[in-house]
Structure 1
Amino acid sequence: MLEQVKYYEDYEIGEGRETVGRTITETDFVVHAGHSGDFFPHHLDEEFCKTLPFGKRIAHGTMVFTIGVGLTATIINPVAFSYGYDRMRFITPVFIGDTIRSKVEIIGKEVMEKRPGYGRVSERLTVLKHSGETALVADHIYMVEMKS
């Protein structure tokens, strides 16, 4: 991972980047179900899912979120940390065999009046399927140290 010191003042609205792809596998489904305790048939029961509109198992939304965020974790900024996520939406289902990639874009900045020396930077996370369809959208909020 690359370390990059980037203060609040250094962030520009509209800047962004896109990650490499990652193909979703059967193992991902099983491991995520085990970690999360989410064994709903929508994710694990192939026969049940044949009776549903999509006709096959759908990835856990939380798994798509986790992998999508993980794909963006290639830069360590020692003066910033995650403050949380807002407005998460699962737009299109992800299936075994789909390749996803993430795109992030800075969409907002504001000084944190109650935390002197820090600003809040909002980054739009979009997880895309190989087909170009949007699978997930969420806003990642960072608390970032100011230069002065």
Structure 2
Amino acid sequence: MAYSYEPHHWEDFEVGQTFETVGRTVTESDFTLHSMFTGDWTELHSNAEYAEDGPFGARVAHGPMTFTLATGFVYRSGIVERTVYAFLGMNYMDVNEPVFMDDTISMEMEVTDKKEIDSVEDADMVTIDTVVTNQDDVAVFEGDMKFLIYNRDAKE
């Protein structure tokens, strides 16, 4: 697996191709900003005293926050820099394990499908399977992300 920080047009992606991201440590600010942005102040995420007596023994990241961090990793890898037309969704998304404050997470990606589509003239679809792991190599998130990616001659 190789780090890649170069933008990829649709033609550059190959089924079976893999990428990995750098890591990032999840912080108190991440928890707070996610709660502020979404309005989700569930105590399991925002109240240390409450969460300490909960099922995980400490505050954990919101499941949707873990997904959001995963989408950030795709962008941070550089492979969709100025080449992504749209995020189309996912066929599956699993939040396997909790993410705790101060966990360091990173993501591995594999291109699993690539297809031409008729609905957009200058972009086609790429599906990327993703696995986010923590510092102990435990998978905390998995899912496939579908993107429309510009064709090389579409937009420079």
Shift of 1:10: 2.5
Is 1:82 matched up with 2:86? yes
1:125 to 120, 125, 130: 130
Question: Match of 2:69, as an amino acid?
Answer: I
Gaps of 5+ in 2: none
Question: Match of 2:89, as an amino acid?
Answer: Y
Q: 1:129 to 1:113 in 2, by over 3 A?
A: same
* Preserved CA contact (<8 Å) 1:82 1:140: no
Is 1:55 matched up with 2:50? no
Corresponding residue number in structure 2 for 1:115: 120
Q: Structure 1: how far apart are the matches of 2:132 and 2:49?
A: 28
Q: Structure 1: how far apart are the matches of 2:51 and 2:118?
A: 50
Corresponding residue number in structure 1 for 2:74: 72
Is 1:102 matched up with 2:107? yes
Q: CA RMSD in A?
A: 2.0
Shift of 1:38: 0.6
Q: After superposition, what is the alpha-carbon deviation per residue over 1:9-33, rounded to whole angstroms, capped at 9, x for unaligned?
A: 3211111211111111122111211
Shift of 1:116: 4.4
Identity across the alignment (%): 29
Q: Structure 2: how far apart are the matches of 1:32 and 1:108?
A: 31
Runs of 4+ aligned residues of structure 1 deviating over 6 Å after TM superposition are none
TM-score, length basis structure 1? 0.85
Gaps of 5+ in 1: none
